[in-house]
Structure 1
Amino acid sequence: MIEQSLWSAALIAGLLGGGHCIGMCGGIVSSLTMALPPGRREPRQITGMLLGYNLGRISSYSLAGLIAGSLGQLLGQSWMGVAMGLRALAALMLVLMALYIGRWWSGLIHIETLGKGLWQRIEPLGRRLFPVRHGGQAFLLGSLWGWLPCGLVYSMLIMALSSGSGLYGALIMLAFGLGTLPTLLVTGFMADRLRTALRHPVWRHLAAFILLLFALWQLAPLWYQLKGAG
């Protein structure tokens, strides 16, 4: 049940955190459609390019989740009490994401500095793929751009770490990536309208409230364990 709550929280964070995703990847997504010759800018070609890019991006998320979850599993098997600490950390990250998405606290963005060193090595490889001409090229670009430093992605990776399983970690990141998919697919067609809608306080506060509920759901078993131990 706890793993299911993490997958659900990851999916909702992806869906309703779309405004942040547009800010991070919207320019890249828009450039994919602009790279097509005017005669080929038809819905079918544009959709193929956007799908290729996003499938590559989500594949990178899932791989990172697999690595993080496997590390969490290794730590949980090596030290007693680590699993409980990782669960608490996952709940904390849900609270921080809620505060960030609700725009009540923006400290989560500072986590993005952790990946800048790796990104400086990956970004030049992605630049070589421009201009993107076909879906396969877009997939390769997405698989590289999936490592772009992002506070939301890193918080999801901490949740993947807390799952204590490579499989669960990959599924958490897959759920998050699928949550971001509708936003970034539509961005290629109507980025400005979508950005305005997702920034509406109603959607932001709804997303934050749901994530806070998932955090409480995550903490409840730990509370009963501590209470029973006491």
Structure 2
Amino acid sequence: MIRRAALLLALLLPMAAVAEQAGPLVTEAGVVPRDGAASGAMVWLHPHYTEGPPPEAPAFMARLAARGWDGWRFDRPPGGAVPPASPLASGVEELAAGTAALRARGYRRVVLVGESRGAFLVLAALRMPGLADAAALAAPAAHGRSAERRPQALADFAAALDRASPDALRRMALLLFEDDGWDPDPAARAGLFQAAVARLGWGALLIDRPPAPTGHGGVQEPEFDAIFGACLADFLEGRGPCR
């Protein structure tokens, strides 16, 4: 969906032969960023590690694109499906450098949207002041699905929130889904999230295991945008409480 929006924008804006970069962040090929003239920059952090094109961003991000936001993407180097050994360290500095580069280009607002490993990377980066204005984390995961890894997965989730800087964000959304085999304990993670955002003084949105959609990739299902898309886009923009 966001690529279709990007192609539409490409028809309206001057064309670039290749994707543009802001540190490690990239645009879709052929789209010229508007920098300070845009409503803001939205960064898609996907769960992809393998060769080939990354998964498309969730459909709700097209709502922000229609409101004048430029789309950027954080691509981790390919190297197989196994995540790095240190989920709380890998990619943090690179992501912070990327959002700083977006600010340097003139973007007044930056929002991050991460799915699975991409969402866990945003969690790990919360220790960096000035990271972004808002973030949405869909089914954060970085430890696999084995029962043996669940205690460490929950401990690392808690540690990332404990280390978060109050100045990293202003708003954060957490999206948890029923029947997510990668989630070590959704009820515990919901509680940890609520306690952390209260301590940090951030605006918060918790979508906690709705009846639909379900599964680890729930944010990619068409029902998600239909049910939650407008609310989540408003929340990320800071338009007020999402109901």
Shorter-normalised TM-score: what interval? under 0.3
The two structures have a TM-score, normalised by structure 2, of 0.27
| Length-normalised TM-score, structure 1 | 0.28
| Greater share of residues in helix | 1
